Amino acid sequence: MKVFIFRFNSPFLIEVVRRLQENNVEILYWVGSKRFFESVTCDISTFSNTIFHDTNDAVRGLPAKGVAVSQFPPLSADLINKMLSCESQVLTMMNAIDWLGNTPLMKRKRIYYGYMQYWYGVLTTLKPDAVIFGDIPHIAYQYVVYSLAKLLGIKVVMYRAIQIKGRMIFLNEPERYQKLETAIKQINGVNFSVDDLQPDIQAYYQSQTSDDAHSTPFFFKKDYFEGLKKPQQFFPALNIILKHIRNGTLLKVIFAYIRSLYRRRTITNLQIFTPSGFALKRHLRRWAKIKESLKKEYKELFIAVDWNKKFIYVPLHNQPEASTSAMGGVFVDQQLMVELLAAAIPDDWVIYVKENLLQWVAPRTHVGRYPGYYEELARLKNVYLIPATTSNYELIKKAQAVATVTGTPGWEAVLRGKPALVFGYIWYMYCDGVFRIHDLASCRIAIDKIRGGYRPDRQKVINFLKAVDETSIHGYPNSRFKKGYDLELTEEENIVNIFNELCGELGLTFSV
Protein backbone atom coordinates (compact mmCIF):
# COMPACT_ATOMS: atom_id res chain seq x y z
CA MET A 1 0.00 0.00 0.00
CA LYS A 2 1.24 3.47 -0.90
CA VAL A 3 0.17 6.49 1.16
CA PHE A 4 0.53 10.25 1.56
CA ILE A 5 0.94 11.58 5.11
CA PHE A 6 -0.02 15.05 6.40
CA ARG A 7 0.36 16.64 9.82
CA PHE A 8 2.15 13.81 11.60
CA ASN A 9 4.79 15.98 13.30
CA SER A 10 5.06 14.96 16.96
CA PRO A 11 7.54 12.26 18.07
CA PHE A 12 4.84 9.65 18.74
CA LEU A 13 3.00 10.31 15.45
CA ILE A 14 6.32 10.05 13.60
CA GLU A 15 6.81 6.70 15.30
CA VAL A 16 3.39 5.60 14.02
CA VAL A 17 4.55 6.41 10.48
CA ARG A 18 7.81 4.53 11.03
CA ARG A 19 5.88 1.44 12.04
CA LEU A 20 3.71 1.72 8.95
CA GLN A 21 6.85 1.86 6.81
CA GLU A 22 8.32 -1.15 8.64
CA ASN A 23 5.15 -3.09 7.81
CA ASN A 24 5.39 -2.54 4.06
CA VAL A 25 3.23 0.57 3.86
CA GLU A 26 5.23 2.77 1.49
CA ILE A 27 5.27 6.43 2.49
CA LEU A 28 5.24 8.07 -0.92
CA TYR A 29 4.85 11.66 0.27
CA TRP A 30 5.07 13.26 3.71
CA VAL A 31 4.27 16.88 4.51
CA GLY A 32 5.28 18.11 7.95
CA SER A 33 7.03 20.73 10.02
CA LYS A 34 8.84 21.36 13.30
CA ARG A 35 12.17 20.03 14.50
CA PHE A 36 11.07 16.41 14.96
CA PHE A 37 9.94 16.20 11.34
CA GLU A 38 13.20 17.76 10.15
CA SER A 39 15.14 14.90 11.75
CA VAL A 40 13.01 12.37 9.83
CA THR A 41 13.84 13.97 6.47
CA CYS A 42 17.46 12.99 7.08
CA ASP A 43 16.60 9.33 7.68
CA ILE A 44 17.38 8.18 4.13
CA SER A 45 17.81 4.55 5.14
CA THR A 46 14.20 4.23 6.33
CA PHE A 47 12.47 6.62 3.94
CA SER A 48 14.59 6.30 0.82
CA ASN A 49 11.63 6.67 -1.58
CA THR A 50 9.71 9.31 0.34
CA ILE A 51 9.18 12.83 -0.98
CA PHE A 52 9.38 15.23 1.97
CA HIS A 53 7.64 18.60 1.84
CA ASP A 54 7.91 21.31 4.46
CA THR A 55 4.54 22.71 5.59
CA ASN A 56 5.75 26.30 5.27
CA ASP A 57 6.59 25.70 1.61
CA ALA A 58 3.31 23.89 0.99
CA VAL A 59 1.34 26.80 2.49
CA ARG A 60 3.05 29.28 0.17
CA GLY A 61 2.43 27.01 -2.82
CA LEU A 62 6.08 26.04 -3.28
CA PRO A 63 6.71 22.49 -4.56
CA ALA A 64 8.68 19.76 -2.83
CA LYS A 65 12.23 19.21 -4.00
CA GLY A 66 12.51 16.92 -6.99
CA VAL A 67 8.88 17.17 -8.10
CA ALA A 68 8.67 17.91 -11.85
CA VAL A 69 6.06 20.65 -11.67
CA SER A 70 6.66 21.62 -15.30
CA GLN A 71 5.08 18.31 -16.32
CA PHE A 72 1.77 19.11 -14.61
CA PRO A 73 -0.94 20.34 -17.02
CA PRO A 74 -2.65 23.72 -16.53
CA LEU A 75 -6.03 23.73 -14.82
CA SER A 76 -9.18 23.21 -16.84
CA ALA A 77 -12.43 25.07 -16.33
CA ASP A 78 -14.09 21.68 -15.71
CA LEU A 79 -11.83 20.85 -12.76
CA ILE A 80 -12.14 24.35 -11.30
CA ASN A 81 -15.93 24.14 -11.48
CA LYS A 82 -15.98 20.71 -9.85
CA MET A 83 -13.97 22.18 -6.97
CA LEU A 84 -16.03 25.36 -6.40
CA SER A 85 -17.22 24.31 -2.93
CA CYS A 86 -13.60 23.61 -2.03
CA GLU A 87 -12.58 27.06 -3.30
CA SER A 88 -15.13 28.77 -1.06
CA GLN A 89 -13.82 26.90 1.98
CA VAL A 90 -10.16 27.43 1.15
CA LEU A 91 -10.41 31.19 0.60
CA THR A 92 -11.84 31.43 4.12
CA MET A 93 -9.30 28.97 5.58
CA MET A 94 -6.54 31.24 4.34
CA ASN A 95 -7.43 33.62 7.18
CA ALA A 96 -5.60 31.22 9.51
CA ILE A 97 -2.39 31.47 7.47
CA ASP A 98 -2.50 35.14 6.54
CA TRP A 99 -1.16 36.57 9.80
CA LEU A 100 -0.43 39.95 8.30
CA GLY A 101 -3.89 40.11 6.72
CA ASN A 102 -2.56 41.81 3.62
CA THR A 103 -3.01 39.19 0.89
CA PRO A 104 -5.46 40.51 -1.77
CA LEU A 105 -8.34 38.28 -2.83
CA MET A 106 -6.97 37.80 -6.34
CA LYS A 107 -3.60 36.78 -4.91
CA ARG A 108 -5.40 34.25 -2.68
CA LYS A 109 -7.16 32.85 -5.74
CA ARG A 110 -3.84 32.52 -7.57
CA ILE A 111 -2.39 30.65 -4.59
CA TYR A 112 -5.48 28.42 -4.51
CA TYR A 113 -5.17 27.61 -8.22
CA GLY A 114 -1.50 26.87 -7.62
CA TYR A 115 -2.48 24.43 -4.86
CA MET A 116 -4.98 22.72 -7.15
CA GLN A 117 -2.63 22.38 -10.10
CA TYR A 118 0.23 21.08 -7.97
CA TRP A 119 -1.69 18.57 -5.87
CA TYR A 120 -3.78 17.32 -8.79
CA GLY A 121 -0.51 16.69 -10.60
CA VAL A 122 1.10 14.96 -7.62
CA LEU A 123 -1.93 12.76 -6.88
CA THR A 124 -2.48 11.69 -10.48
CA THR A 125 1.24 11.05 -11.05
CA LEU A 126 2.10 9.12 -7.87
CA LYS A 127 -1.34 7.48 -7.51
CA PRO A 128 -1.43 6.81 -3.75
CA ASP A 129 -3.83 4.21 -2.36
CA ALA A 130 -4.69 6.44 0.59
CA VAL A 131 -4.14 9.91 2.01
CA ILE A 132 -3.79 10.17 5.81
CA PHE A 133 -4.35 13.37 7.80
CA GLY A 134 -3.54 14.07 11.41
CA ASP A 135 -6.80 15.85 12.34
CA ILE A 136 -9.55 17.05 10.03
CA PRO A 137 -7.80 18.94 7.18
CA HIS A 138 -8.25 22.62 7.90
CA ILE A 139 -5.07 24.19 6.57
CA ALA A 140 -5.88 25.57 3.13
CA TYR A 141 -3.63 23.40 0.97
CA GLN A 142 -4.56 20.27 2.96
CA TYR A 143 -8.24 20.85 2.28
CA VAL A 144 -7.42 21.04 -1.42
CA VAL A 145 -5.63 17.69 -1.16
CA TYR A 146 -8.62 16.20 0.67
CA SER A 147 -11.11 17.51 -1.91
CA LEU A 148 -9.03 16.30 -4.84
CA ALA A 149 -8.53 12.86 -3.27
CA LYS A 150 -12.28 12.58 -2.80
CA LEU A 151 -12.86 13.65 -6.42
CA LEU A 152 -10.32 11.10 -7.66
CA GLY A 153 -11.72 8.26 -5.53
CA ILE A 154 -8.63 7.94 -3.33
CA LYS A 155 -9.24 6.62 0.19
CA VAL A 156 -8.93 9.29 2.90
CA VAL A 157 -8.34 8.66 6.60
CA MET A 158 -8.27 11.26 9.36
CA TYR A 159 -8.88 11.45 13.08
CA ARG A 160 -10.38 13.91 15.51
CA ALA A 161 -9.93 14.25 19.26
CA ILE A 162 -13.43 14.43 20.71
CA GLN A 163 -14.78 16.25 23.75
CA ILE A 164 -14.52 13.09 25.87
CA LYS A 165 -11.00 13.55 27.16
CA GLY A 166 -8.48 11.01 26.01
CA ARG A 167 -10.68 9.72 23.15
CA MET A 168 -10.22 9.96 19.39
CA ILE A 169 -12.43 8.94 16.47
CA PHE A 170 -11.19 8.02 12.99
CA LEU A 171 -13.24 9.05 9.98
CA ASN A 172 -13.06 9.42 6.21
CA GLU A 173 -14.66 12.82 5.64
CA PRO A 174 -15.35 15.79 7.93
CA GLU A 175 -19.08 15.67 7.20
CA ARG A 176 -19.64 12.08 8.32
CA TYR A 177 -18.57 9.72 11.12
CA GLN A 178 -19.41 6.49 9.32
CA LYS A 179 -18.24 3.97 11.93
CA LEU A 180 -20.21 5.78 14.61
CA GLU A 181 -23.31 5.82 12.40
CA THR A 182 -22.98 2.07 11.86
CA ALA A 183 -22.52 1.34 15.56
CA ILE A 184 -25.63 3.36 16.44
CA LYS A 185 -27.68 1.30 13.99
CA GLN A 186 -26.26 -1.98 15.33
CA ILE A 187 -27.22 -1.27 18.95
CA ASN A 188 -30.66 0.05 18.04
CA GLY A 189 -33.28 -1.46 20.35
CA VAL A 190 -30.83 -2.36 23.13
CA ASN A 191 -30.85 -0.29 26.31
CA PHE A 192 -27.52 0.10 28.07
CA SER A 193 -26.79 1.44 31.52
CA VAL A 194 -23.95 3.73 32.59
CA ASP A 195 -22.26 0.65 34.07
CA ASP A 196 -21.98 -0.81 30.56
CA LEU A 197 -19.62 2.01 29.56
CA GLN A 198 -15.85 1.85 29.99
CA PRO A 199 -14.61 3.53 33.21
CA ASP A 200 -13.28 6.69 31.53
CA ILE A 201 -16.58 7.37 29.74
CA GLN A 202 -18.51 6.54 32.90
CA ALA A 203 -16.43 9.08 34.82
CA TYR A 204 -16.86 11.65 32.06
CA TYR A 205 -20.64 11.19 31.99
CA GLN A 206 -20.91 11.44 35.76
CA SER A 207 -18.81 14.62 35.87
CA GLN A 208 -20.84 16.27 33.12
CA THR A 209 -24.18 15.44 34.72
CA SER A 210 -23.28 16.21 38.33
CA ASP A 211 -20.35 18.61 38.62
CA ASP A 212 -20.01 21.64 36.35
CA ALA A 213 -16.92 22.86 38.22
CA HIS A 214 -14.81 19.98 36.89
CA SER A 215 -16.33 19.87 33.40
CA THR A 216 -14.57 22.87 31.84
CA PRO A 217 -12.09 21.96 29.03
CA PHE A 218 -8.47 22.83 29.85
CA PHE A 219 -8.34 25.49 27.10
CA PHE A 220 -10.98 27.53 28.95
CA LYS A 221 -9.15 27.53 32.27
CA LYS A 222 -7.34 30.58 33.63
CA ASP A 223 -3.78 29.24 33.44
CA TYR A 224 -4.22 28.41 29.74
CA PHE A 225 -5.45 31.95 29.03
CA GLU A 226 -2.51 33.44 30.90
CA GLY A 227 -0.10 31.32 28.88
CA LEU A 228 -1.47 32.76 25.64
CA LYS A 229 -0.64 36.29 26.76
CA LYS A 230 3.05 35.63 27.56
CA PRO A 231 4.48 35.83 24.00
CA GLN A 232 3.16 39.41 23.71
CA GLN A 233 5.26 40.62 26.66
CA PHE A 234 8.57 42.32 25.87
CA PHE A 235 9.94 41.69 29.35
CA PRO A 236 9.51 38.65 31.61
CA ALA A 237 7.19 38.98 34.60
CA LEU A 238 8.73 40.12 37.90
CA ASN A 239 8.15 36.76 39.61
CA ILE A 240 10.12 35.02 36.82
CA ILE A 241 13.02 37.48 37.25
CA LEU A 242 13.04 36.95 41.03
CA LYS A 243 12.99 33.19 40.56
CA HIS A 244 16.12 33.30 38.38
CA ILE A 245 17.86 35.66 40.84
CA ARG A 246 17.27 33.11 43.59
CA ASN A 247 18.52 30.27 41.36
CA GLY A 248 21.58 32.23 40.23
CA THR A 249 20.57 31.88 36.56
CA LEU A 250 19.55 35.47 35.80
CA LEU A 251 22.51 36.41 33.56
CA LYS A 252 22.24 33.17 31.58
CA VAL A 253 18.54 33.74 31.02
CA ILE A 254 19.04 37.40 30.04
CA PHE A 255 21.57 36.46 27.33
CA ALA A 256 19.28 33.69 26.03
CA TYR A 257 16.36 36.09 25.96
CA ILE A 258 18.31 38.76 24.07
CA ARG A 259 19.41 36.16 21.50
CA SER A 260 15.78 35.10 21.04
CA LEU A 261 14.80 38.72 20.30
CA TYR A 262 17.24 38.87 17.38
CA ARG A 263 16.85 35.32 16.09
CA ARG A 264 14.63 35.06 13.02
CA ARG A 265 11.99 32.34 12.73
CA THR A 266 9.76 31.17 9.94
CA ILE A 267 6.04 31.65 10.57
CA THR A 268 3.60 29.52 8.57
CA ASN A 269 2.08 32.17 6.34
CA LEU A 270 0.68 32.63 2.83
CA GLN A 271 3.57 34.92 2.01
CA ILE A 272 7.14 34.86 3.34
CA PHE A 273 7.12 35.92 7.00
CA THR A 274 10.40 35.48 8.91
CA PRO A 275 10.36 38.07 11.71
CA SER A 276 12.92 38.39 14.46
CA GLY A 277 11.69 37.64 17.97
CA PHE A 278 11.51 41.38 18.61
CA ALA A 279 9.51 42.03 15.43
CA LEU A 280 7.15 39.15 16.18
CA LYS A 281 6.43 40.53 19.65
CA ARG A 282 5.74 43.90 18.04
CA HIS A 283 3.27 42.24 15.66
CA LEU A 284 1.64 40.35 18.53
CA ARG A 285 1.17 43.56 20.47
CA ARG A 286 -0.34 45.27 17.41
CA TRP A 287 -2.73 42.37 16.88
CA ALA A 288 -3.58 42.45 20.58
CA LYS A 289 -4.66 46.09 20.12
CA ILE A 290 -6.94 45.05 17.25
CA LYS A 291 -8.50 42.42 19.50
CA GLU A 292 -8.84 44.97 22.27
CA SER A 293 -10.72 47.34 19.95
CA LEU A 294 -13.09 44.51 18.99
CA LYS A 295 -13.54 43.68 22.64
CA LYS A 296 -14.40 47.31 23.31
CA GLU A 297 -17.02 47.25 20.53
CA TYR A 298 -18.54 44.15 22.11
CA LYS A 299 -18.61 45.66 25.60
CA GLU A 300 -20.41 48.74 24.32
CA LEU A 301 -23.19 46.55 22.93
CA PHE A 302 -23.80 43.78 25.45
CA ILE A 303 -26.67 43.80 27.94
CA ALA A 304 -27.33 41.99 31.19
CA VAL A 305 -29.08 38.63 30.86
CA ASP A 306 -32.79 38.68 31.65
CA TRP A 307 -33.19 35.22 33.09
CA ASN A 308 -36.99 35.50 32.97
CA LYS A 309 -37.05 35.46 29.18
CA LYS A 310 -37.16 32.33 27.06
CA PHE A 311 -33.97 32.24 25.06
CA ILE A 312 -31.70 30.30 22.73
CA TYR A 313 -28.10 30.40 23.90
CA VAL A 314 -25.53 30.90 21.11
CA PRO A 315 -21.89 30.63 22.22
CA LEU A 316 -19.69 31.86 19.38
CA HIS A 317 -16.70 29.87 18.19
CA ASN A 318 -13.16 31.12 18.42
CA GLN A 319 -12.07 31.76 14.81
CA PRO A 320 -10.24 30.92 12.62
CA GLU A 321 -10.33 27.28 13.73
CA ALA A 322 -11.19 23.82 12.39
CA SER A 323 -14.39 23.78 14.44
CA THR A 324 -15.97 26.14 11.91
CA SER A 325 -13.59 25.85 8.95
CA ALA A 326 -13.86 23.05 7.70
CA MET A 327 -16.34 21.49 10.15
CA GLY A 328 -18.90 24.26 9.80
CA GLY A 329 -19.29 24.23 6.04
CA VAL A 330 -21.09 27.43 4.99
CA PHE A 331 -21.74 28.19 8.66
CA VAL A 332 -18.12 29.21 9.04
CA ASP A 333 -19.98 32.53 8.82
CA GLN A 334 -21.65 32.31 12.22
CA GLN A 335 -23.90 35.22 11.41
CA LEU A 336 -25.75 32.93 8.98
CA MET A 337 -26.59 30.70 11.93
CA VAL A 338 -27.85 33.58 14.05
CA GLU A 339 -29.92 34.96 11.15
CA LEU A 340 -31.70 31.62 10.72
CA LEU A 341 -32.40 31.41 14.43
CA ALA A 342 -33.70 34.99 14.55
CA ALA A 343 -36.12 34.21 11.73
CA ALA A 344 -37.34 30.98 13.36
CA ILE A 345 -37.96 31.83 17.03
CA PRO A 346 -41.31 33.04 18.41
CA ASP A 347 -41.69 36.78 19.02
CA ASP A 348 -41.51 36.33 22.79
CA TRP A 349 -38.17 34.48 22.65
CA VAL A 350 -34.72 36.05 22.37
CA ILE A 351 -31.29 34.90 21.30
CA TYR A 352 -28.39 35.47 23.65
CA VAL A 353 -25.07 35.53 21.82
CA LYS A 354 -21.90 35.18 23.89
CA GLU A 355 -18.43 35.77 22.50
CA ASN A 356 -15.74 33.16 23.07
CA LEU A 357 -13.14 34.58 25.47
CA LEU A 358 -10.37 32.96 23.42
CA GLN A 359 -11.31 35.29 20.55
CA TRP A 360 -9.59 38.15 22.35
CA VAL A 361 -6.41 36.35 23.41
CA ALA A 362 -5.65 33.37 21.16
CA PRO A 363 -3.17 33.52 18.24
CA ARG A 364 -4.45 34.62 14.79
CA THR A 365 -7.87 35.62 16.10
CA HIS A 366 -7.30 39.23 15.04
CA VAL A 367 -8.42 38.03 11.58
CA GLY A 368 -11.46 36.14 12.93
CA ARG A 369 -13.63 39.24 13.41
CA TYR A 370 -13.79 42.69 11.83
CA PRO A 371 -14.92 46.18 12.94
CA GLY A 372 -18.70 46.24 12.99
CA TYR A 373 -19.07 42.46 13.35
CA TYR A 374 -20.81 42.70 16.72
CA GLU A 375 -22.94 45.65 15.58
CA GLU A 376 -24.30 43.53 12.72
CA LEU A 377 -25.26 40.77 15.16
CA ALA A 378 -26.88 43.16 17.62
CA ARG A 379 -29.04 44.69 14.86
CA LEU A 380 -30.82 41.38 14.22
CA LYS A 381 -34.35 41.04 15.58
CA ASN A 382 -34.45 39.68 19.15
CA VAL A 383 -30.68 39.10 19.18
CA TYR A 384 -28.69 40.36 22.16
CA LEU A 385 -25.03 40.20 23.04
CA ILE A 386 -24.37 39.26 26.66
CA PRO A 387 -21.22 39.50 28.81
CA ALA A 388 -18.61 37.00 27.64
CA THR A 389 -17.93 36.08 31.27
CA THR A 390 -21.49 34.85 31.86
CA SER A 391 -21.46 31.26 33.13
CA ASN A 392 -21.72 28.78 30.27
CA TYR A 393 -23.40 26.21 32.48
CA GLU A 394 -25.90 28.68 33.94
CA LEU A 395 -26.90 29.69 30.42
CA ILE A 396 -27.32 26.05 29.41
CA LYS A 397 -29.51 25.35 32.44
CA LYS A 398 -31.80 28.33 31.83
CA ALA A 399 -31.93 28.19 28.00
CA GLN A 400 -34.67 26.56 25.96
CA ALA A 401 -31.89 25.21 23.76
CA VAL A 402 -28.27 25.78 22.76
CA ALA A 403 -27.34 26.58 19.16
CA THR A 404 -23.83 26.09 17.83
CA VAL A 405 -21.91 25.23 14.69
CA THR A 406 -19.97 22.33 16.26
CA GLY A 407 -19.13 23.62 19.74
CA THR A 408 -18.73 21.80 23.05
CA PRO A 409 -21.68 23.69 24.69
CA GLY A 410 -24.07 21.86 22.34
CA TRP A 411 -22.83 18.52 23.65
CA GLU A 412 -22.83 19.78 27.24
CA ALA A 413 -26.45 20.86 26.78
CA VAL A 414 -27.56 17.40 25.64
CA LEU A 415 -25.81 15.77 28.60
CA ARG A 416 -27.72 18.17 30.88
CA GLY A 417 -31.09 17.41 29.32
CA LYS A 418 -31.34 20.38 26.97
CA PRO A 419 -31.71 20.17 23.17
CA ALA A 420 -29.00 21.43 20.84
CA LEU A 421 -29.27 22.91 17.36
CA VAL A 422 -26.12 22.00 15.42
CA PHE A 423 -25.32 23.72 12.12
CA GLY A 424 -22.04 21.99 11.24
CA TYR A 425 -20.58 18.48 11.30
CA ILE A 426 -19.50 17.06 14.65
CA TRP A 427 -19.37 13.57 16.15
CA TYR A 428 -22.21 14.19 18.63
CA MET A 429 -24.62 15.28 15.88
CA TYR A 430 -26.02 11.72 15.85
CA CYS A 431 -27.07 11.83 19.51
CA ASP A 432 -30.67 12.14 20.63
CA GLY A 433 -31.44 15.73 21.55
CA VAL A 434 -29.46 17.18 18.64
CA PHE A 435 -31.28 18.89 15.76
CA ARG A 436 -29.19 19.18 12.62
CA ILE A 437 -29.99 22.52 10.99
CA HIS A 438 -29.27 23.51 7.39
CA ASP A 439 -32.05 25.94 6.47
CA LEU A 440 -35.00 27.93 7.81
CA ALA A 441 -37.43 25.00 7.47
CA SER A 442 -35.31 22.62 9.57
CA CYS A 443 -34.73 25.41 12.10
CA ARG A 444 -38.46 26.09 12.47
CA ILE A 445 -39.25 22.38 12.86
CA ALA A 446 -36.68 22.13 15.66
CA ILE A 447 -37.97 25.25 17.43
CA ASP A 448 -41.57 23.98 17.23
CA LYS A 449 -40.59 20.67 18.83
CA ILE A 450 -38.66 22.45 21.57
CA ARG A 451 -41.66 24.73 22.23
CA GLY A 452 -43.73 21.57 22.60
CA GLY A 453 -41.51 20.38 25.45
CA TYR A 454 -39.03 18.17 23.59
CA ARG A 455 -36.00 17.10 25.64
CA PRO A 456 -33.20 14.58 25.03
CA ASP A 457 -33.99 11.03 26.15
CA ARG A 458 -31.44 10.07 28.82
CA GLN A 459 -31.55 6.40 27.80
CA LYS A 460 -30.82 7.25 24.17
CA VAL A 461 -27.93 9.48 25.24
CA ILE A 462 -26.40 6.58 27.18
CA ASN A 463 -26.93 4.31 24.18
CA PHE A 464 -25.16 6.87 22.03
CA LEU A 465 -22.24 6.94 24.47
CA LYS A 466 -22.04 3.16 24.16
CA ALA A 467 -21.63 3.56 20.39
CA VAL A 468 -18.94 6.18 20.96
CA ASP A 469 -17.27 3.82 23.44
CA GLU A 470 -17.09 1.09 20.80
CA THR A 471 -15.89 3.25 17.89
CA SER A 472 -13.40 5.61 19.56
CA ILE A 473 -9.91 4.80 20.80
CA HIS A 474 -7.92 5.86 23.82
CA GLY A 475 -5.49 8.38 22.42
CA TYR A 476 -4.34 11.98 22.16
CA PRO A 477 -3.11 13.95 19.14
CA ASN A 478 -0.34 15.88 20.90
CA SER A 479 1.34 16.46 24.24
CA ARG A 480 -0.84 19.54 24.86
CA PHE A 481 -3.88 17.27 25.20
CA LYS A 482 -2.02 14.79 27.40
CA LYS A 483 -0.84 17.51 29.75
CA GLY A 484 -4.05 19.57 29.64
CA TYR A 485 -6.27 16.64 30.54
CA ASP A 486 -3.67 14.93 32.76
CA LEU A 487 -4.03 11.69 30.81
CA GLU A 488 -2.45 8.51 32.18
CA LEU A 489 -2.08 6.83 28.77
CA THR A 490 1.62 6.36 28.05
CA GLU A 491 3.21 7.47 24.79
CA GLU A 492 3.81 3.85 23.74
CA GLU A 493 0.18 2.93 24.43
CA ASN A 494 -0.87 5.97 22.41
CA ILE A 495 1.36 4.93 19.49
CA VAL A 496 -0.01 1.37 19.51
CA ASN A 497 -3.64 2.50 19.68
CA ILE A 498 -3.29 4.99 16.82
CA PHE A 499 -1.25 2.56 14.71
CA ASN A 500 -3.74 -0.30 15.13
CA GLU A 501 -6.75 1.89 14.37
CA LEU A 502 -5.02 3.35 11.35
CA CYS A 503 -4.24 -0.11 10.03
CA GLY A 504 -7.88 -1.09 10.46
CA GLU A 505 -8.98 1.99 8.51
CA LEU A 506 -6.54 1.11 5.72
CA GLY A 507 -7.78 -2.48 5.61
CA LEU A 508 -4.46 -3.91 6.81
CA THR A 509 -4.45 -7.01 9.00
CA PHE A 510 -1.26 -6.60 11.02
CA SER A 511 -1.16 -4.81 14.39
CA VAL A 512 1.23 -4.23 17.29
Q: Which of 381, 68, 99, 128 is nearest to 267 (CA)?
A: 99
Contacts of 248 (CB under 8 A, 6+ apart): none
Confidence of residue 214 (pLDDT cuts 50, 70, 90): low
pLDDT at residue number 18: 93
Confidence of residue 465 (pLDDT cuts 50, 70, 90): very high
Q: Are 361 and 291 in contact (CB under 8 A)?
A: yes
Q: Are 7 and 32 in contact (CB under 8 A)?
A: yes
pLDDT at residue number 381: 95
pLDDT at residue number 194: 96
pLDDT at residue number 171: 97
Mean pLDDT within 278-286: 89
Mean pLDDT within 112-132: 98
Which runs of E-coded beta strand occur in 136-229?
Answer: 155-161, 167-171
pLDDT at residue number 336: 98
Q: Are 376 and 335 in contact (CB under 8 A)?
A: yes
Alpha carbons 37 and 329: distance in angstroms, whole number: 31
pLDDT at residue number 319: 96
Residue 493's identity, in one-letter code, is: E
Dihedral sign from CA coordinates of 426, 91, 146, 30 = negative
pLDDT at residue number 43: 77
CA distances (Å), 120 to each of 71, 112, 144, 155, 284, in order? 12, 12, 9, 15, 36
pLDDT at residue number 437: 98
pLDDT exceeding 70 applies to what percent of the chain? 94
DSSP per residue over 325-392, as a string? TTTTGGGGSHHHHHHHHHHHS-TTEEEEEE--GGGGTSTTGGGS--TTHHHHHHTSTTEEEE-TTS-H
Quickly name the fold that domain 194-222+286-468 has: Rossmann fold (3.40.50)
- Each residue of 57-77: pLDDT tens digit? 999 999 999 899 999 999 999
pLDDT at residue number 252: 80
Distance spanning both ends of the chain, measured CA to CA: 18
pLDDT at residue number 212: 67
- Each residue of 311-344: pLDDT tens digit? 999 999 999 999 999 999 999 999 999 999 999 9
pLDDT at residue number 217: 63
Confidence of residue 33 (pLDDT cuts 50, 70, 90): confident
| pLDDT mean across residues, the chain | 92
- Each residue of 265-275: pLDDT tens digit? 888 889 888 88
Q: Which of 357, 385, 361 is nearest to 233 (CA)?
A: 361
Taking CA 159 as the corner, what is the angle to CA 157 and CA 164, rounded to the nearest 5 degrees? 155
Judge residue 99's burial from the number of C-beta atoms within 10 Å of its C-beta, 0-12 exposed, 13-18 middle, 19 or more buried: buried
pLDDT at residue number 35: 77
The one-character DSSP state at 453 is T
Query: C-alpha dihedral over 14, 20, 23, 29, to 10 degrees?
Result: -100
Parallel, antiparallel or unpaired: strands 167-171 and 383-386 = unpaired
- Is the per-residue pLDDT at 254 higher than 70? yes
- Each residue of 421-436: pLDDT tens digit? 999 999 999 999 999 9
Residue 51's identity, in one-letter code, is: I
